[in-house]
């Protein structure tokens, strides 16, 4: 097989990987560096752990206040807003809001002025369940600008964005779970994300109640973009089966798996990718 | 359903709106137009951004947020960056004309008041001088120039034209830096007698910058703008004649803080460094510099290190150390700190004045013959009470535009910046000499 070059970079409290095939190593390294540079720039504006970041500034808004946002922050919040609506609040850009206030905060975006408007409550944005996926989507754009179509981008193992498959293969072999999972699919030009409690414990909150997610097993989501799959896999941790089915019915490009003991239950109308 | 093709390109397109249900019907801009809004106000300052590389992009992120500023033109020799910048500006509501050449821009844009220059260093002087002579105010990124002569010419043009020239040492407008310098170092003399300073900015080994194959510039175009090839164009900071290496890239900001905070320039410089690691660079991989400052109470030495082969060492900061306390500053607020020496007078009065905030108060006995015995008391901890919630470059740009409006004085005019420029160039000069260079107060003046 033609060599696949692998590059790593630490960001967003995890390790990102760029795997690239079909290019000279030095060229692939520079393309990966450009993608990681974009990742760094995104982290600097999207991280709530960076004092003064745009997301921190937005989080500090009081009711009635506006803040002008840069393009990536506005885009990420726009996607978060859509995912919040589609998942009926199971995903939220303010997941811990109910821990500190009786009702969810209200906020709006204005495309004309690129502003976020705090209407009610304290925002306390936390894009941890969409930011890594969003970053993968933006990194993929860079790699494509560089002509690196055959690539796989990985964010800490919890989200991947697959480009064109390696030569002579149907897709990148992506497993649901760890330890060389038996549930493997050949993925190309799509994204897969997983959520669960194995690494960070009960860190996922149900934004609708402020309580930890009820589900014990892992969830995965397969979507066109990593921002969607990242957010949807988190939402699947808190949605009931019935709620998840209803969400998936309205979005034919989405597929979700729920792990129940040793079973992987697949839900959604997107055609299942080929098994690896 | 999610508009799932919200790529950056899509998002910047006119039709890529996040979903009608998400949008507010309108927004109420103030009397002056708000950046990014389609409307204009008569007193908007019209600005051109010349140079849209990494630094230009950072500056644009701040420019679009400053009220009363309209970016009406953008210039970059590389179409990859130029088109990206123009697309982004359009999305933000600025119909900016795009130019490859700054001379074309100056010839055609007749409604400009100011330019922001963020090109490679060796273009700073020619562009700045031309813009000042065209009657424009200039915000120019540091270094002023890749040569002392170039920087001096900028100051001379600033003086002869009477236009404003702000140099991009943005820490000089950072509210936290201003507060700490004015209140803590000068007023409260929190450090006591300053005996030493230290600053650093270390970065891990990184790939040289590359370029997408489909955006290679023709050789004649590169040559026209002073570059041997694409590698040199993309990595100009590492080449003599184009940039000044890491001491001028990263060190410039921090060595300028030495001069600014100590209110003088050094009397000598000695330095060590070398091209020991990278095979494709002309400037030093790593450099270590010692300046001597003849402060009124005695000499203070300032050590500066910039490593580009390791990121170890605790981030980027400037630290001023005295016999009664230390102030550690950084653009990253999580790194900022103040330390009190045990021999220093009580800081309680400073806490009460609001100069510092006690994270953990010192346990002090009101009556020295009494003592309360209980669990071990923690060490007292203090912090600088300034909350700064803007991008780092924004206040410095705001200072520039306020100076144009006549409501502020420049925080880093060209002649002031020249003093730092000079001693930074001298540090680069000292490395191959291998001995101390004496500097006089007169020679650092433009």
One-letter-per-residue 3-state SS of chain B? CCCCCCCHHHHHCCCCCCCHHHECCCCCCCCCCCCCCCCCCCCCEEEEEECCCHHHHHHHHHHCCCCCEEEEEEECCCHHHHHHHHHHHHHHCCCCEEECCHHHHHHHCCCCCEEEECCCHHHHHHHHHHHHHCCCEEEECCCCCCCHHHHHHHHHHHHHHCCCEEECCHHHHCHHHHHHHHHHHHHCCCCCCEEEEEEECCCCCCCCCCCCHHHCCCHHHHHHCCCCCHHHHHCHHHCECCECHHHHHCHHHHHHHHHHHHCCCCCEEEEEEECCCCCCCCCCCEEEEEEEEEECCEEEEEEEEEECCCCCCCCCEEEEEECCEEEEECCCCCCCEEEECCCCCCCHHHHHHCCCEEEECCCCCCCCCCCCCCCCCCCCEEECCCCCCCCCCHHHHHHHHHHHHCCCCCCCEHHHHHHHHHHHHHHHHHHHHCCCEECCCCCCCC
On whether residue A269 sits in a domain, the answer given is no
Report the SS3 class of residue A81: helix
Residue range(s) defining the domain that contains residue A74: 54-120
Closest residue, chain B, to A107 (C-alpha): B22
Closest CA of chain B from A75, distance in Å: 7
Count of domains for chain A: 1
With a cut of 70, list the residues of chain A below it in pLDDT: 198-202
**Beta-sheet pairing, B325-329 with B317-322:** antiparallel
Q: Please tell me the distance from the alpha carbon of residue A128 to that of residue A231, in angstroms, as a whole number.
A: 9
Within 8 A of B383 by CB-CB distance, chain A residues are none
* B278 and chain A in contact, CB less than 8 A: no
Closest CA of chain B from A261, distance in Å: 31
Report the SS3 class of residue A276: coil
On whether residue A7 sits in a domain, the answer given is no
Within 8 A of B21 by CB-CB distance, chain A residues are 85
* A48 and chain B in contact, CB less than 8 A: no
On whether residue A178 sits in a domain, the answer given is no
The closest alpha carbon to B170, from B230, B128, B108, B116, belongs to B116
Q: Please tell me the distance from the alpha carbon of residue B317 to that of residue B257, in angstroms, as a whole number.
A: 10
On whether residue A84 sits in a domain, the answer given is yes
Place of tokens 């006591």: B192
Within 8 A of A83 by CB-CB distance, chain B residues are 2
Q: B210 and A251 in contact by Cβ < 8 A?
A: no
Half-sphere exposure of B17 (CA within 13 A, CB side): 13
Within 8 A of B211 by CB-CB distance, chain A residues are 30
Q: Please tell me the distance from the alpha carbon of residue A68 to that of residue A83, in angstroms, as a whole number.
A: 22
Helix axes B148-161, B124-133, angle to 10 degrees: 10
* A228 and chain B in contact, CB less than 8 A: yes
Q: Please tell me the distance from the alpha carbon of residue A66 to that of residue A79, in angstroms, as a whole number.
A: 19
Closest CA of chain B from A2, distance in Å: 21
Closest CA of chain A from B387, distance in Å: 9
Closest CA of chain B from A113, distance in Å: 5
Nearest to A33 among B18, B35, B206 (CB): B206
Q: Please tell me the distance from the alpha carbon of residue A171 to that of residue A188, in angstroms, as a whole number.
A: 5
Tens place of pLDDT per residue across chain B (446 aa):
565 445 665 655 433 333 222 222 222 223 333 444 445 677 899 999 999 999 999 999 999 999 999 999 999 999 999 999 999 999 999 999 999 999 999 999 999 999 999 999 999 999 999 999 999 999 999 999 999 999 999 999 999 999 999 999 999 999 999 999 999 999 999 999 999 999 999 999 998 999 999 999 999 999 999 999 999 999 999 999 999 999 999 999 999 999 999 999 999 999 999 999 999 999 999 999 999 999 999 999 999 999 999 988 888 999 999 999 999 999 998 899 999 999 999 999 999 999 999 987 766 667 778 787 877 777 788 999 998 788 899 999 999 999 999 999 999 999 999 999 999 999 999 999 999 999 999 999 99
Q: Please tell me the distance from the alpha carbon of residue A71 to that of residue B232, in angstroms, as a whole number.
A: 30
Helix, strand, coil percent values for chain A (each to nearest 5) = 30, 25, 40
On whether residue A86 sits in a domain, the answer given is yes
- State percent of chain A over pLDDT 90: 82
Q: Please tell me the distance from the alpha carbon of residue B49 to that of residue B140, in angstroms, as a whole number.
A: 10
On whether residue A238 sits in a domain, the answer given is no
Nearest to A75 among B6, B23, B333 (CB): B6
Which pTM value belongs to this model? Answer: 0.89
Nearest to A27 among B29, B206, B210 (CB): B210
On whether residue A43 sits in a domain, the answer given is no
B60-79 residues touching A, CB cutoff 8 A:
61, 64-65
| B361 neighbors B353 (Cβ within 8 angstroms) | no
Place of tokens 């990494």: B54
A186-225 residues touching B, CB cutoff 8 A:
223-225
Q: How much is the pLDDT for B292? A: 98
The closest alpha carbon to B201, from B308, B113, B53, belongs to B308
On whether residue A47 sits in a domain, the answer given is no
| B1 neighbors A269 (Cβ within 8 angstroms) | no
Closest residue, chain A, to B25 (C-alpha): A110
Nearest to B389 among A56, A137, A251 (CB): A56
Q: How much is the pLDDT for B43? A: 87
- Asked if this assembly's ipTM is beyond 0.90, the reply is no
The closest alpha carbon to B293, from B329, B268, B273, B272, belongs to B268
């Amino acid at each position: 097989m033609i060599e696949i070059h692998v590059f790593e970079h630490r960001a967003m409290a995890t390790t990102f990987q760029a795997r690239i095939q079909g290019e000279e190593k030095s060229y692939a390294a520079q393309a990966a560096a450009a993608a990681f540079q974009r990742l760094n720039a995104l982290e600097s504006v999207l991280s709530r752990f960076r004092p003064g970041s745009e997301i921190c500034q937005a989080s500090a808004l009081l009711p009635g206040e506006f803040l002008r946002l840069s393009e990536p922050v506005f885009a990420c919040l726009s996607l978060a807003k859509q995912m919040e609506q589609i998942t009926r609040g199971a995903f939220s850009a303010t997941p811990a809001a109910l821990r500190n206030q009786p009702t969810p905060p209200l906020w709006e975006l204005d495309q004309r002025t690129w502003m976020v408007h705090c209407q009610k409550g304290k925002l306390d944005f936390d894009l941890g369940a969409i930011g890594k996926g969003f970053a993968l989507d933006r990194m993929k754009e860079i790699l494509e600008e560089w002509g690196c179509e055959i690539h796989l981008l990985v964010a800490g193992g919890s989200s991947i964005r697959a480009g064109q498959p390696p030569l002579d293969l149907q897709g990148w072999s992506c497993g649901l779970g760890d330890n060389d999972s038996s549930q493997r699919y050949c993925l190309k030009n799509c994204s897969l994300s997983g959520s669960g409690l194995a690494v960070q414990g009960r860190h996922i909150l149900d934004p609708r109640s402020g309580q930890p997610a009820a589900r014990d097993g892992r969830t995965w989501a397969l979507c066109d973009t990593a921002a969607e799959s990242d957010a949807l896999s988190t939402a699947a941790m808190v949605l009931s089966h019935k709620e998840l089915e209803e969400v998936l019915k309205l979005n034919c490009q989405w597929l979700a798996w729920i792990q129940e003991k040793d079973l992987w239950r697949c839900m959604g109308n997107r055609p299942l990718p080929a098994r690896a | 359903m999610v508009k799932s093709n919200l790529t950056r390109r899509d998002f910047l397109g006119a039709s890529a709106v996040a979903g009608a249900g998400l949008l507010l019907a309108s927004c109420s801009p103030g009397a002056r137009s708000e950046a990014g809004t389609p409307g204009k106000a008569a007193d908007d300052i019209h600005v051109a951004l010349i140079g849209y590389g990494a630094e230009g992009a950072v500056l644009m992120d701040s420019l679009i947020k400053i009220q009363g500023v309209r970016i009406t033109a953008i210039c970059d020799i590389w179409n990859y960056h130029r088109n990206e910048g123009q697309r982004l500006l359009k999305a933000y509501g600025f119909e900016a004309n795009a130019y490859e050449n700054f001379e074309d821009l100056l010839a055609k844009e007749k409604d400009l008041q100011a330019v922001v220059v963020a090109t490679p260093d060796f273009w700073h002087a020619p562009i700045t001088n031309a813009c000042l002579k065209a009657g424009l105010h200039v915000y120019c990124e540091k270094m002023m120039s890749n040569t002392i002569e170039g920087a001096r010419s900028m100051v001379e043009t600033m003086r002869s034209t009477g236009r404003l020239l702000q140099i991009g040492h943005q820490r000089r407008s950072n509210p936290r830096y201003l507060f700490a310098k004015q209140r803590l170092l000068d007023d409260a003399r929190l450090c006591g007698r300053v005996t030493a300073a230290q600053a650093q900015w270390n970065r891990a080994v990184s790939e040289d910058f590359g370029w997408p194959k489909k955006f290679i510039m023709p050789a004649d175009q590169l040559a026209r703008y002073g570059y041997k090839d694409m590698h040199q164009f993309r990595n100009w900071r590492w080449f003599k004649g184009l940039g000044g290496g890491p001491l001028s890239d990263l060190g410039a900001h921090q060595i300028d803080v030495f001069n600014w905070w100590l209110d003088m320039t050094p009397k000598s410089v000695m330095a060590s460094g070398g091209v020991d690691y990278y095979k494709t660079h002309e400037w030093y991989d790593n450099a270590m510099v010692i300046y001597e400052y003849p402060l009124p109470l005695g000499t203070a030495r300032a050590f500066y290190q910039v490593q580009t082969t390791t990121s170890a060492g605790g981030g980027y900061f400037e630290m001023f150390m005295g016999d009664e306390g230390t102030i550690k500053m950084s653009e990253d607020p999580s790194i900022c700190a103040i330390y009190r020496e045990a021999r220093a007078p009580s800081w309680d009065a400073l806490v009460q004045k609001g100069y510092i905030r006690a994270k953990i108060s010192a346990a002090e006995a009101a009556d020295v013959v009494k003592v309360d015995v209980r669990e071990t008391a923690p060490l007292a901890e203090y912090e600088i009470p300034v909350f700064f919630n803007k991008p780092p470059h924004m206040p410095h740009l705001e200072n520039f535009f306020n100076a144009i409006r006549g409501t502020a004085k420049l925080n880093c005019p060209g002649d002031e910046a020249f003093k730092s420029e000079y001693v930074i160039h001298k540090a680069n000069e000292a490395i191959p000499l291998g001995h101390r260079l004496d500097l006089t107060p007169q020679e650092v003046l433009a």
